[in-house]
Every structure is written in structure tokens, then in C-alpha cells.
Amino acid sequence: MQSFFTFLKSRQFLFQLGFIVLFIFFVFFGIIKWLSSYTNHGEFVTVPDFKEQSIAGLSDFIKDKDVSYLIIDSVYDPKEKPGIVLRQEPEANSKVKHNRTVYLYVTGMVAPQIKMPKLIDRSERQARLILITYGLKVGSVVDKKADCNGCVLSQRIKGKEMEEGASVKKGSVVDLVVGRKDSFYSSAPSDSTTSDKEELNFD
């Protein structure tokens, strides 16, 4: 035991202990520096604004931006130009690490197919609301003599009768034929006829 404590106090032990401590320190310091370099610690880039950029030009757009991109969703919007960026995550001007992936939402190139809703026997007002809900557009509305007053008799796209459940492109224009009763065509005074027509206008 005496010799053990004597060894702990010896210059040889202290030298070895110091060497081990320095070795551990340099190894730890090296790991920290490597991790800092690997993760680009403290170095950030500003996210560019991808909005309104065309899909075809994205590769050229990010050449000097130090970020990458990934298109994760395509949304068809007839009001927007097809093939452009609508939204991005993270937002433009955010601070991110080098080579961060920016997730993009773009407009679809082709209108999706949807099922034609049933409009026949519904009122003109109901038909208009249904078309809007389905992402379809109301085209011309033609009156036709019928037993019903204000009900839809026919639903057409480009002059072709469209049955319920038929596949049509979202955003298509649907023309309606609407029934009017005999009273609509009666030879009443002009003021009365005008009044009736205004009452039946479902704009």
C-alpha cells in the first residue's frame, strides 16, 4: 500500500496522468470541431421567395441559393396559371441551415376529373350553388316552356347533355335549360311581363 501511494506521487505517474488528460481534451475538442463543421454551426442562409416561380425554372432559380426544394403537393386552381409555386415551407426570408430543403405547393398542370352532379329537377338557384361547390362554372341559362317553374330540365357542357355521375374536368362550364310555366308566356301587359321576368331572375 505504501508503494502504491508513493507511485501516485511520482513524476512518472503525474506525467502519464497529464498525458491522458491532454489526450482526452484534444479528442473532445476535435469531436466538437467536427460536429460544428458537419452541421455548419452558426452559419445560416436566407430562404428565397419561390412564389410565382415556374416549375420548369426551379433548378436554375436555386443554383446560387444554398437550398434545395421538394414539391410535395399539387393543387388545381383554374384562377391561377398552371405549373407555378403557390406556397412554400419555410416561408421566404426565413433563416435556415445550408442546403435546407424547402417544401413547395404548386398549381396542377391538368384539371382533375370530377363526377357531374345531379342538377335536373332542382331549382336554378340550387343548381348554381351546387356547380360552385363542385368547382364548376355556370354558363348560359336558357328558358324553356315546361310544367315546372324555375326547375332545371337539362345540364350541358359544350352542347352535349351530361348525365349525373359522368366524368368532367373541374372548372368546366355547364349550361342550364330551365323550365318556365305557361304564365310566363301569357300575353299580359308589358309592365306585368317585365315584372314577372324580374321575379324569376335568380342571379
Question: Which of 107, 127, 146 corresponds to the end of one domain?
Answer: 107
Is the same domain home to 102 and 136?
Answer: no
| In a shared domain, residues 137 and 90 | no
> Which residues sit opposite 137 in a β-bridge?
173
**85-95 pLDDT per residue, tens:** 999 999 999 99
pLDDT of residue 106: 94
pLDDT single digits (tens) 159-171: 999 999 999 998 8
Contacts of 89 (CB under 8 A, 6+ apart): 102, 103
Summary mean pLDDT of the chain:
82
96 & 124 share domain: no
Same-domain check for residues 189 and 119: yes
Distance, in Å, from the CA atom of 83 to the CA atom of 105, rounded to the nearest integer, reads: 10
Residues 103 and 119 in one domain: no
Residues 102 and 121 in one domain: no
**What is the CATH classification number for the domain harbouring 120?**
3.30.10.20
Q: Provide mean pLDDT across the span 127-145.
A: 94
Residue with more model confidence, 51 or 8: 51
**C-alpha cell at position 67:** 437550398
Position 21 scores a pLDDT of 84
Same domain for 49 and 73, yes or no, is yes
Structural domain for 73, as ranges = 45-107
Of residues 8 and 115, the one with the higher pLDDT is 115
In the predicted structure, residue 128 carries a pLDDT above the cut 90: yes
Residue 201 has a pLDDT of: 41
Give the span between the Cα atoms of 50 and 80, in whole angstroms.
15
Residue 19, C-beta contacts closer than 8 angstroms, at least 6 positions apart: none
Give the pLDDT score at 17.
77
Burial 128-145 (b: 16+ CB within 10 A, else e): bebbeebbbebeebebee
**Cell 475538442 belongs to which residue?**
29
Question: Residue for cell digits 304564365?
Answer: 183
67 & 135 share domain: no
pLDDT attached to residue 195? 34
Q: Which residue has the higher pLDDT, 197 or 116?
A: 116
d(CA 111, CA 126): 24
Confidence at 13, pLDDT banded by 50, 70, 90: low
Question: What does pTM read for this prediction?
Answer: 0.50
